[in-house]
Structure 1
Amino acid sequence: MENGQAASGALTIAYDAGSRSYTISTAGRSATFAPADLVESGSPDFISFEKLGTTSEALTLTRPGTSGALTYRYVGGGAWERATVSGDQLDFSYDPFTYGIETPDTSLARTGTGVYAVSLVGARAMEAPYAMAGSGTLQVDFLSGSLASSGVLTSIDVGTGLIKGIGVYFGEASLSSTANNFSGDFFMDDGTRFTGGWAGRFYGPEAEEVGAAWHLTSADGQVAAGYMLGRQDGTIEPVNWTLTPLVFDQGFAHRFSELSFTDLGGGRSADNAELLRSDAYLGYDADTATYRYLDTARGIDMDFSPAQLVAAETDARLAVYSFTGSDGLTYRLTLNQPGAGNPAIQLSYASFGRWERAQASASDRIDRWFTWGIRTNGFQIPSGTGEFAGIIQGTAARFRGGPVYALSGTSNFSMDFAGGTFTGSLNPIGTSLSDGATRDFGTFAFARGAIDLDAGLTADIVNNNNAYLGFFEGALYGPRATEVAGSFGMQTENTDSGGAGSSNAAYLSGVIVGTRTGN
């Protein structure tokens, strides 16, 4: 395949009722397809026309209907194909489009959320042309004009029926504030990363259906294009695009850092401290404003409702929930308050939480920190570099017993988005819960920081001698990676040689949340 190109453009389709023919025009080319050109499509979803000659042409249209992945009442999809063979060279063009009964500009909703089940049809030029098919969901916030669609997109060898590649796609777009049209960026990755665009509109008197055309190009010269059709589907749960506020049910899987210790007195003094990191889940029920904390591996499953909010401890910075379980133990959930009113840090997409269990007669106190929120889609990771500044929250306890510390402090990140790496440092400050004394634990560096394709972050925490002290696990948050958050667990001294550490050595567990400060 050589000289492949993919782009968007204007196309018109006109139907002549008298002759029952379709005329397609784009880029200075035009063709008319009449009933005499009808051929078997091989699928109940499509109507196909074909004209053979020096330049062979075909038109494929979706059939109208009220149900099914490709049969719609108001929107249709189509593709005009042209192929010219000269010697061993094939010149091929594929023009996908959508058409139908458009929602009038003045009738398009400007409030609320729409959720659509969508299907995709397309073609891809690799070493030869291949078909593409996919499915996914599309969500639109009519008030802000934001759209997003994601799902699966498969490449298929038409001759053999074999799948050549299975990829994920993601599209983001902006809806015009005055007209029924949207456009934006479109991406796919099936081992090869594609970038491109899409544009479309809503169809039906109340935007019951949606249609869009998309195109893609890879760095190695592959191209693809197609169309997307969809209808509103009330069985699909919408997702939150921001934490300010949460308006839909949603679950947030996360990694946590946990410090467990023998409580020697009201959480202010500890012995036998240990660190743990693992997976858990925070769910939100929008109808009841209730959070569910779940850790199936450790038998934890509990709800924190508004009735359990501790008013005396809740303010613009933190929301604190607490209850006594049937086992007689106290459980607490503390969540950062999102939005501009938080005096500690203003976050819209990232947040942090703390889950605690009081000490039982046969087991230690548990103090667990985690971050959660609206993660950056992997396709939205920006290019270039970015600087972030953050704050620390957490808990510390000494190796050999002594005071428990509440952690604060600062952190910074230098992201190389293009290279998939980052560096930075954290400076945790402890305040003793026993006597209020302050302890500066020092400044530690992030080493071997990596940004994965899903916007996840991992790094080792090291001392000035590059000795391993602990871990950082987090992610980028927000549609443009404007925020960062993650949990960390570490010790202040390296004990790899088998030493027990000094009497002042400590375990630290907590979270870092931050915002982007510059390029």
Structure 2
Amino acid sequence: MKVTGCALVALAVALGGCSGGGGGGGSSGPGFIPVPAAPTDQRNTTLTDLRFTEGFAGAAGRIRYAVSGTGSASDFDGTVPVSSNTVAVRYDAAAQSYTISLSPFTSPSFGPGDRTSSSNTLTNYEKRSGSRQENLSLFNPGSGNPRLVLTYASYGAYQAITQGSPIGVDTIFFAYGIRTAPSDMPKTGSASYTTIVDGQFAGASGVYAMGGDSSFTADFAAATVQATLQLRGQNVVTNGLRDFGIHALTGTIRSETTGAVFSAAGGSNGATVYMQGAFFGPGAAEVGANFGIVNADGRGVGALVGRKN
């Protein structure tokens, strides 16, 4: 079994060097205060040429847990949602920095001085303070990305690791971008999207970088969506492989003031999978979503992004 689609494994692999280390459903994040957007006359038109300070709305999921010396994960924080449609990614044009907000959490700002590596696929950032390490990885939109060319949507992952006994881990996967306006959403026909999927799972059997295969279709006339996730993982300590199953999800599209969004759910073999996301770009050209998976062993979060075929 080969694990594919794990672009952000660097975040999870950081656990491997540490030598140590409840249920959850969808949530709309009551009380969330989004990062303010730029004035209407100073909005970015694509993610490939960011010129203005702006807060991009999106979807995110979060898992907080402890890792023992054997690599087993436990003590999950049941107050954080594995799937939420309330996240804001703020880009500061002057500082060229990014800040992630998911109520009630806000990350530090990550700027050029925190950059540790960059390629056509990813840009990685890191901050350290005492026993705490924080990382941010962003999938690079643009024609040079060999995995998937995106213009209006993207995704990323934030992870904080606090050394101790046990080790504390906080992981957020999110999708974001320039949402399709309700007035620009197709009202007839359907579309399929070329997608990639990425994530992390933590449970009694260990912590895994997740990837796999995925598909996504939207029926605009019926205002419905369908997604399939075939998830596979690689243990970040032992490199052992795990099949997380094939999960079919169905859901509905709705319009909000910030754009056209959707929610879906499904699962198989005792696992429940939640998904929340949005359409991005003119005419729903792209899609971005968070997904959360909960099973008897633990829980995971990830992101799916795609471009209309």
Q: What's the TM-score once normalised by structure 1's chain length?
A: 0.48
Query: In the alignment, which residue of structure 2 is the partner of 1:20?
Result: none
Residue 343 of structure 1 deviates from its aligned partner by 1.6
Query: In the alignment, which residue of structure 2 is the partner of 1:507?
Result: 299
> 2:58·2:278 contact (CA, 8 Å) conserved in 1?
no
Query: In the alignment, which residue of structure 1 is the partner of 2:244?
Result: 441
Q: Please give the residue correspondences for 1:223-234 in structure 2 after superposition, counting only pairs within 5 Å.
A: none
Q: Please give the residue correspondences for 1:330-349 in structure 2 after superposition, counting only pairs within 5 Å.
A: 330-349=133-152
- In structure 2, how many angstroms separate the alpha carbons of the residues matched to 1:250 and 1:363? 34
In structure 1, what residue type is equivalent to 2:299? Y
- In structure 1, how many angstroms separate the alpha carbons of the residues matched to 2:53 and 2:161? 29
SS in 2 for 1:462: strand
- Aligned counterpart in structure 2 of residue 253 of structure 1, from 57, 61, 66: 57
Q: Based on CA coordinates, which of the two structures has the bigger radius of gyration?
A: 1
Residue 446 of structure 1 deviates from its aligned partner by 0.6
Bigger helix share: 2
* Distance change >3 Å, CA 280–CA 414, structure 1 → 2: closer
Greater RCO (Cα-Cα under 8 Å, separation 6 or more): 2
Residue 412 of structure 1 deviates from its aligned partner by 1.1
1:293 partnered with 2:100? yes
Q: Please give the residue correspondences for 1:123-202 in structure 2 after superposition, counting only pairs within 5 Å.
A: none
Query: In the alignment, which residue of structure 2 is the partner of 1:322?
Result: 126
Q: Please give the residue correspondences for 1:68-467 in structure 2 after superposition, counting only pairs within 5 Å.
A: 237-264=41-68, 269-274=72-77, 276-277=80-81, 278=84, 279-295=86-102, 297-298=104-105, 300-311=106-117, 314-325=118-129, 328-359=131-162, 361=164, 364-382=168-186, 383-398=188-203, 401-447=204-250, 449-453=251-255, 454-463=259-268
Task: Please give the per-residue CA displacement for 1:325-384, whole angstroms capped at 9, x wherever unaligned.
Answer: 3x6411111110111111221111110011111126598310110110011111111221
In structure 2, what residue type is equivalent to 1:459? A
Query: In the alignment, which residue of structure 2 is the partner of 1:212?
Result: none
- In structure 1, how many angstroms separate the alpha carbons of the residues matched to 2:149 and 2:72? 32
Runs of 4+ in 1 over 4 A off after TM superposition: 360-363
* Distance change >3 Å, CA 459–CA 315, structure 1 → 2: same
- In structure 2, how many angstroms separate the alpha carbons of the residues matched to 1:516 and 1:236? 27
* Distance change >3 Å, CA 347–CA 270, structure 1 → 2: same
> 1:269·1:403 contact (CA, 8 Å) conserved in 2?
yes
In structure 1, what residue type is equivalent to 2:184? Q
Residue 295 of structure 1 deviates from its aligned partner by 4.1
> 1:394·1:407 contact (CA, 8 Å) conserved in 2?
yes
SS in 2 for 1:307: helix
Query: In the alignment, which residue of structure 2 is the partner of 1:489?
Result: 292
> 1:262·1:359 contact (CA, 8 Å) conserved in 2?
no
In structure 2, what residue type is equivalent to 1:452? R
- In structure 1, how many angstroms separate the alpha carbons of the residues matched to 2:115 and 2:94? 16
Task: Please give the per-residue CA displacement for 1:281-329, whole angstroms capped at 9, x wherever unaligned.
Answer: 221111221112334524x341111010002xx321111111113x641
Residue 436 of structure 1 deviates from its aligned partner by 1.6
- In structure 1, how many angstroms separate the alpha carbons of the residues matched to 2:238 and 2:264? 33
- In structure 2, how many angstroms separate the alpha carbons of the residues matched to 1:402 and 1:333? 25
- In structure 1, how many angstroms separate the alpha carbons of the residues matched to 2:73 and 2:94? 40
* Distance change >3 Å, CA 358–CA 468, structure 1 → 2: closer
Residue 491 of structure 1 deviates from its aligned partner by 1.9
- In structure 1, how many angstroms separate the alpha carbons of the residues matched to 2:307 and 2:49? 18
> 1:461·1:490 contact (CA, 8 Å) conserved in 2?
no
Task: Please give the per-residue CA displacement for 1:140-186, whole angstroms capped at 9, x wherever unaligned.
Answer: xxxxxxxxxxxxxxxxxxxxxxxxxxxxxxxxxxxxxxxxxxxxxxx
- In structure 2, how many angstroms separate the alpha carbons of the residues matched to 1:485 and 1:258? 16
Residue 271 of structure 1 deviates from its aligned partner by 2.7
How many residue pairs align between the two structures? 262
Q: What's the TM-score once normalised by structure 2's chain length?
A: 0.78
RMSD (Å) for aligned C-alpha atoms: 2.3
Residue 462 of structure 1 deviates from its aligned partner by 2.5
Seq. identity, %: 29
SS in 2 for 1:248: coil
Task: Please give the per-residue CA displacement for 1:386-416, whole angstroms capped at 9, x wherever unaligned.
Answer: 1123111100122xx2321101112112211
